[in-house]
Structure 1
Amino acid sequence: MATDKAFQDGKKPTLFEEYLRIMNQSKTKEIREDLISEGAAMDEPSEASSELSFWKDHQRLIDRKTKRVMPTTIVIEKYRSLFEAATKALVTAASRGRIRMVKALLDKVDHDPESVTTALLDAITRSPMEREFIWYLTGRTTSTPDSDTMGWLIVTGHLDIALYLARKYPGLATTKDGANECPLEDLAVMKFHFHSGARLNFWENFIYKCIPLCLVNTSYDNSKHTKTTRALQQFKMSLWNLATKPAPFIKRIGESKLRHKCSLKLANLALIKNKSRMTTPENLEYLLTSGIVLDATSRGISEIVNLCIVHFPELMWDERFIRKLMKEAVKGRHVELFLLVRAHYIPQLTPDYWMKFGLMKAVTKWSPRCESPDVSGAAFLMQRELQWFKVLEDSSIPCIKSLKWQEEKRTYWENIVEKRCNLVKEAGVWMKDTSKSCSLVVTLIITIAFTAIFTVPGGNNDSTGNPIFLKNGSFMVFAVADAFALFSSVTATLMFLAILTSRYAIEDFLLSLPRKMILGLTFLFLSLAFMLVAFSSALTVILSEKWKWIYIPIILLATLPLILFAILNLPLYVQMVESTYRPRLYCSVMFGK
């Protein structure tokens, strides 16, 4: 037979050949002959074909084989080799993401509980995208999974599954893996698993806040639920999939929100477990030596830092730790973390002037970490740098403004100007290019608005010179809108002209230039809106005599450019307004004052 030939050649037999060899040695003649006859009717797999592909091509034989073997192989000691082969098949099928094969083996062949946990780890590492399959194996686990399972679940983004296992097996929340890292340490370096580390634009953040988690939480572990609960859950899943099918990005944002919620709960659970199994001094030593808080701070994960401070407020009593924490927040320009640490800061426990010196030195340094994707344009990146410098300078002692570095013999302001000379040039180019583009559009609006007022719709009365439709309500709307369009466009032109003729000094990027840009864009938007209103009202005056309903499609068509302009430019506009008039760095009282 094929299996004997394989042994003679010194090659490792396939799973099916091993299975036939075991059955040939069995005393159960009926099963042996039946399986051999079925195997003879099949084409023998080639050497290149894997065990799993062979099983996939002969799925029906797998089902018949497991059904017939169960009554006679229930005693594991009698068929130990078959048991090992089934375990090997389970792990192999799990690593390939074959849920049907795994279900057949788990339901019809006895297996070691540890084989399920091994299959779960292989499924996570080799088929991380098979979410439903990983959930199925997670629900079938009856023993504590391998220590590496939690780490791989966190890395692959299955935070809801990791949270489920941590609640089912409490020891997993604090167990160290093969790399000697616990789940909390893994979470501290995965910033995209938290809302503070997610790079969401204006509209994505708006959708993020509107999505209810009750629709997104599509857990496949519903074995303990009643039929009504399972039916309701299936209905919610179907409703969610149907609603997000035309817009897949909404589903992606919803899954991100679920992941952020689960990662926050998992971190909180890990800290609670640490509090229950260790004393407060041991926990403080662990957090200070493991670098969890500092790693989270350097990556801007404010959620983990907040949880650690809430559970262990004694962390803020360590002078060296506070210095490192504040420096990391300033170096990474993490506003939320800076405000969080400042809110828990105890100035009486730390020499205040040394803290300020260190922060001033950190804010003058420039690194790629300072370039945040949340800031649009070099001009507003320069504005943010100046805001950081101003906040730390105003909160420092008065003499610090004139102090010089011992190493370079320059003041802090001279250092920040020198190290950001390239950024100032880029900011100036961005301001000029934006102003030139907007000035061109505004000039066209001025021309159209000025011309339209002398060529009124319907013409003028030859005897009096007054417009024919002077008493028409739509004509008055046209006249007023056209006048506002002209005045707004002229004002916008003056604002952009002021930007183009500016000196572009570094301090101008703090308030002067951003305010002029905001005013210019505001009047540009108003002039566009008034121009469309004037055009729509003029069309209504001309066509309303024949079609009374013509104003409806005209209004709908006129709103499309306004909506498109708002979608494309509103995020930048809102960010500019918030950065200039309501910066988050100024939201609370400065420490030390």
Structure 2
Amino acid sequence: MRQKLNSMFWNVLMRLAPCIKRIHDEKLNHMQALEIVRTVCGEVVWDFEKALEALKQPILIATRLGIFEIVDEILKVYENAFCFVDEDGKDVQQLAVLHRHEIVFRIILKELGKSWEDSVDNDLNTVLHLAGKSAPSSKIAGSALQMQREVQWFKAVENLVPPSMQEMQNSKGKTPIQVFEEEHKTLVKEGEKWMKGSASSCTVVAALIITIVFAAAFTIPGGTNTEGPAFIIFAISDALAFVSSIASVLMFLGILTTRYSPDDFLKSLPEKLIIGQITLFVSIASMMVAYGATFYINCTHQWKWTIFPIFLLGSLPVTLFAMLQSHLLFEMISSTYGPTIFPSKEEIRM
């Protein structure tokens, strides 16, 4: 048995070896590149011409790829490197927003401090116009969460820029909000479809629970024997399941009847889905507790030994629901109530 386990272990290890080696090589290359940048930056006294020749391409490429360590090292030795622009006229600040690299943008904000660059690219796009561009991330699951992230980016940048920049027009005569609305039409529709599909499915489940627990409330388990802790547990859990399932249905109905503007994806829709999911979980758990209490009250003496396995079976649906929905729920809670993408303008100036 031990030899078999050892053999299985080595087989798994051999299969993982190429992946481990690839990760190791990528990490090593990353560290070597960072060390080269540190060495070069540390041995030169930079003037603008020298910095433009040696640092322009590295910082622009690092910004596009989100390699924040290299961006940080370059800005430490030459703080004006954020003024370098690419062939489209975009500086590192604009590239960080366009490619949605949060850490890189935080580093640039730290270097900018009180001064904010009102720069524009070759198409007269400000940093707020670029925040309005659509850039869905493959790291975020679900079109609704992607739309929420896009709105968070736009609101965060809008909060940082001067008010005059919010009405500036690009070469096509469009303001930042017009660019945002035009670029995100498809994502809004996909987010609406995703939200309505989730809400419709959960509404059916919650409605079934309402029907079951409402009928159970008028079917007294044990006949006239309405005393004892088991009956109290049944009454409380049945009432809790009924109330929480109604609350869940109301939340999901609110999702189905929303007008679905981009701003709704920021707080309104995620909050309704979070509350609906939590109350649905509570209703399922309470229904299973009521089921266990009913079985305990009605079972005869010789079947008492079945209570524990029945309880375990009753907890299975609750566990499955938690396993299937917990990842999405935690991700939505983190995205909605977690730290904001960027600090406020006042925090930057401190």
Decide: shared fold, TM above 0.5: yes
Alignment correspondent of 1:527: 283
Identify if the C-alpha distance between structure 1 residues 267 and 567 changes in structure 2 by more than 3 Å, giving closer, same or farther: farther
What letter corresponds to residue 130 of structure 2 in structure 1? A
Preserved contact between residue 245 and residue 280 of structure 2 (Cα < 8 Å): yes
Alignment correspondent of 1:504: 260
Preserved contact between residue 264 and residue 304 of structure 1 (Cα < 8 Å): no
Task: Work out the CA distance in 1 between the residues paired with 2:10 and 2:251.
Answer: 45
- Correspondence 1:427 to 2:198: no
Task: Work out the CA distance in 1 between the residues paired with 2:18 and 2:277.
Answer: 32
- Correspondence 1:436 to 2:200: yes
The structural deviation recorded for 1:295 is 2.2
- Correspondence 1:489 to 2:255: no
- Correspondence 1:332 to 2:332: no
Preserved contact between residue 293 and residue 305 of structure 1 (Cα < 8 Å): yes
Preserved contact between residue 396 and residue 592 of structure 1 (Cα < 8 Å): no
Task: Work out the CA distance in 2 between the residues paired with 1:329 and 1:530.
Answer: 48
What letter corresponds to residue 329 of structure 1 in structure 2? A
Identify if the C-alpha distance between structure 1 residues 352 and 271 changes in structure 2 by more than 3 Å, giving closer, same or farther: closer
Task: Work out the CA distance in 2 between the residues paired with 1:515 and 1:539.
Answer: 36
The structural deviation recorded for 1:578 is 1.7
SS at match of 1:502: coil
The structural deviation recorded for 1:256 is 7.9
Instruction: Tell me the TM-score normalized by structure 1.
Output: 0.50
The structural deviation recorded for 1:431 is 1.6
Preserved contact between residue 160 and residue 344 of structure 2 (Cα < 8 Å): no
The structural deviation recorded for 1:445 is 0.8
What letter corresponds to residue 314 of structure 1 in structure 2? V
Task: Work out the CA distance in 2 between the residues paired with 1:492 and 1:284.
Answer: 59
The structural deviation recorded for 1:488 is 0.4
What letter corresponds to residue 340 of structure 1 in structure 2? I
Identify if the C-alpha distance between structure 1 residues 265 and 527 changes in structure 2 by more than 3 Å, giving closer, same or farther: same
The structural deviation recorded for 1:556 is 2.8
The structural deviation recorded for 1:487 is 0.4
Task: Work out the CA distance in 2 between the residues paired with 1:556 and 1:540.
Answer: 13
Paired-residue identity, %:
32
The structural deviation recorded for 1:380 is 2.1
Spell out the pairing of 1:373-522 with structure 2 (5 A cutoff).
373-401=138-166, 403-458=167-222, 460-461=223-224, 468-471=225-228, 473-522=229-278
Preserved contact between residue 360 and residue 389 of structure 1 (Cα < 8 Å): yes
Alignment correspondent of 2:55: 288
- Correspondence 1:313 to 2:76: yes
Out of 516, 537, 545, which is 2:301 matched to? 545
Range that drifts further, 526-535 or 551-560: 551-560
Task: Work out the CA distance in 2 between the residues paired with 1:560 and 1:271.
Answer: 55
Spell out the pairing of 1:111-130 with structure 2 (5 A cutoff).
none
The structural deviation recorded for 1:271 is 3.9
SS at match of 1:281: coil
Task: Work out the CA distance in 2 between the residues paired with 1:547 and 1:535.
Answer: 16
Identify if the C-alpha distance between structure 1 residues 294 and 575 changes in structure 2 by more than 3 Å, giving closer, same or farther: same
Task: Work out the CA distance in 2 between the residues paired with 1:500 and 1:513.
Answer: 10
Preserved contact between residue 252 and residue 276 of structure 2 (Cα < 8 Å): yes
Spell out the pairing of 1:43-442 with structure 2 (5 A cutoff).
242=9, 245=12, 262=28, 265-274=31-40, 278-281=43-46, 288-289=55-56, 291-306=57-72, 308-309=73-74, 313-321=76-84, 324-348=91-115, 352-354=117-119, 358-366=126-134, 370-401=135-166, 403-442=167-206
Preserved contact between residue 199 and residue 252 of structure 2 (Cα < 8 Å): yes
Preserved contact between residue 315 and residue 321 of structure 1 (Cα < 8 Å): no
Alignment correspondent of 1:30: none
The structural deviation recorded for 1:511 is 1.7
SS at match of 1:585: coil
SS at match of 2:63: helix
The structural deviation recorded for 1:494 is 0.6
The structural deviation recorded for 1:532 is 1.7
Identify if the C-alpha distance between structure 1 residues 329 and 483 changes in structure 2 by more than 3 Å, giving closer, same or farther: same
- Per-residue CA deviations over 1:83-130 (Å, capped at 9, x if unaligned) read xxxxxxxxxxxxxxxxxxxxxxxxxxxxxxxxxxxxxxxxxxxxxxxx
- Per-residue CA deviations over 1:32-89 (Å, capped at 9, x if unaligned) read xxxxxxxxxxxxxxxxxxxxxxxxxxxxxxxxxxxxxxxxxxxxxxxxxxxxxxxxxx
Task: Work out the CA distance in 2 between the residues paired with 1:514 and 1:261.
Answer: 36
Identify if the C-alpha distance between structure 1 residues 556 and 267 changes in structure 2 by more than 3 Å, giving closer, same or farther: farther
Task: Work out the CA distance in 2 between the residues paired with 1:287 and 1:280.
Answer: 12
- Per-residue CA deviations over 1:206-236 (Å, capped at 9, x if unaligned) read xxxxxxxxxxxxxxxxxxxxxxxxxxxxxxx
Preserved contact between residue 129 and residue 180 of structure 2 (Cα < 8 Å): no
Task: Work out the CA distance in 1 between the residues paired with 2:127 and 2:349.
Answer: 13
Instruction: For structure 1, list consecutive stretches of 5 or more residues without a partner in the other structure.
Output: 1-237, 462-467
SS at match of 2:83: helix
Task: Work out the CA distance in 1 between the residues paired with 2:307 and 2:147.
Answer: 47
Preserved contact between residue 316 and residue 346 of structure 1 (Cα < 8 Å): no
**Higher CA-based Rg:** 1
Identify if the C-alpha distance between structure 1 residues 273 and 411 changes in structure 2 by more than 3 Å, giving closer, same or farther: closer
Out of 305, 318, 327, which is 1:562 matched to? 318
Preserved contact between residue 41 and residue 77 of structure 2 (Cα < 8 Å): no
Task: Work out the CA distance in 1 between the residues paired with 2:331 and 2:103.
Answer: 16
The structural deviation recorded for 1:435 is 1.1
The structural deviation recorded for 1:319 is 4.4
What letter corresponds to residue 128 of structure 2 in structure 1? M
The structural deviation recorded for 1:437 is 0.9
The structural deviation recorded for 1:288 is 1.3
Instruction: For structure 2, list consecutive stretches of 5 or more residues without a partner in the other structure.
Output: none
SS at match of 1:523: helix
The structural deviation recorded for 1:261 is 5.6
Task: Work out the CA distance in 2 between the residues paired with 1:563 and 1:267.
Answer: 47
What letter corresponds to residue 354 of structure 1 in structure 2? S
Identify if the C-alpha distance between structure 1 residues 393 and 269 changes in structure 2 by more than 3 Å, giving closer, same or farther: closer
Structure of greater relative contact order (alpha carbons < 8 Å, 6+ residues apart): 2
Identify if the C-alpha distance between structure 1 residues 406 and 469 changes in structure 2 by more than 3 Å, giving closer, same or farther: closer
Task: Work out the CA distance in 2 between the residues paired with 1:266 and 1:442.
Answer: 56
The structural deviation recorded for 1:525 is 1.4
Equivalenced residues, count = 334
Instruction: Tell me the TM-score normalized by structure 2.
Output: 0.81
The structural deviation recorded for 1:272 is 4.8
Task: Work out the CA distance in 1 between the residues paired with 2:246 and 2:143.
Answer: 27
Preserved contact between residue 264 and residue 303 of structure 1 (Cα < 8 Å): no
SS at match of 1:318: helix
Identify if the C-alpha distance between structure 1 residues 347 and 495 changes in structure 2 by more than 3 Å, giving closer, same or farther: same
Task: Work out the CA distance in 2 between the residues paired with 1:313 and 1:341.
Answer: 11
The structural deviation recorded for 1:483 is 1.0
What letter corresponds to residue 61 of structure 2 in structure 1? D
